[in-house]
Structure 1
Amino acid sequence: MSGPGAPALIGATLLAAGRPVTLAELARVLELGEDAAARAVAVFAAALEAAALGFVLEAVAGGYRLVVPPALAPHLAPVLAPPALPALSTAALEVLAVIAYRQPVTRAEIEAMRGASAGTVVTLQERELVKVVGRSAAVGQPLLYGTTDRFLMEFGLSALAELPPLEGADFAHLLRG
């Protein structure tokens, strides 16, 4: 191997990849056989631990990645907390409620239930609360929308079955504080 040393290449590769990197990939980067690469990775991991730099090597998903040691995670909360998103508008909440209770549902069906435009579907998609789950068999094969796992997380639900029961087809009671 010529050029930068193995520790520099291992660290740079793990940081640049943004995903777990397999031993075979590291061996190619290091221009070594897999056994020699495994030894280099072990030396790198030991050096990181000894230096106590605030990150360690983790073997995960068939590869390696750099992570923060769990003991340091509580200290990082002030910088890792995501910025609060602006509150959803009433229209967006209405559309979200229709999708949550009637999924899979087309935009036309949402608009028919609301009696107004469903233009906020795009905002809900951008926030990863709803997604396209297929196409309807209706003429033109319109997109079908459903909620995402993020929707469940944001609303503290483990499954859609935990949604409060609907009183008829009226969604208005869901929007009152």
Structure 2
Amino acid sequence: MSDPALEDHSSSELVAHEDHLAALEAVLMVAEEPVAPAELAAALKLSEHQVVALLDEIRLDADGEGDGRQRGYELRQVAGGYRFYSRLTYADQVSAFILGGQTARLSQAALETLAVIAYRQPVARSQVAAIRGVNVDGVVRTLVHRDLVDTAGTDPVTGATLYTTTPTFLEKLGIGSVEELPQLSPHLPGVDAVEEFGESDRY
């Protein structure tokens, strides 16, 4: 006869394991660069050994070892860290979506992010995220792929990558320089928050 206490313990361990897997996947989803196991362990409050075991499980699952269905993404170990990448098999489709979609209209999130970069450049992703209140890593990557935004060195204090708009951005708007951008204040409510954020950066 089975012991209910042992079954409850086994069930709680399984729930904890699944939760750790999900948490690790969530962190990897927002990582823009390969993340070292030690950094992941610190974020999840687990040992590095536990994190490496979880990473192996995620990698095998993405490769179809679990249910036999290979995912369109893979977990790669590069430069001493781990990060999700789209699978090379589907490079043509990904390129068609990102590059071929340049004629498609930008999403509201992309437009808002582009506006913040345009009016606050050069600006770091973290500053844009603070203004918009959401993670902007994926949106910024899309804007870079569409040649509307590009990197412009790093912040001398934080070392964060800075972003500015590109000549393509000016060409799309039909203006010669960012100085020709219209004033935001008469058109957008709450724009003072952007200006206040810029002022706070100087102190």
Report the TM-score range of the alignment, normalised by the length of the smaller protein: 0.3 to 0.5
Structure with greater Cα Rg: 1
What is the TM-score normalised by the length of structure 1? 0.47
What is the TM-score normalised by the length of structure 2? 0.41
Structure number having the greater helix percentage: 2
Highest RCO, 1 vs 2 (Cα 8 Å, sep ≥ 6): 1
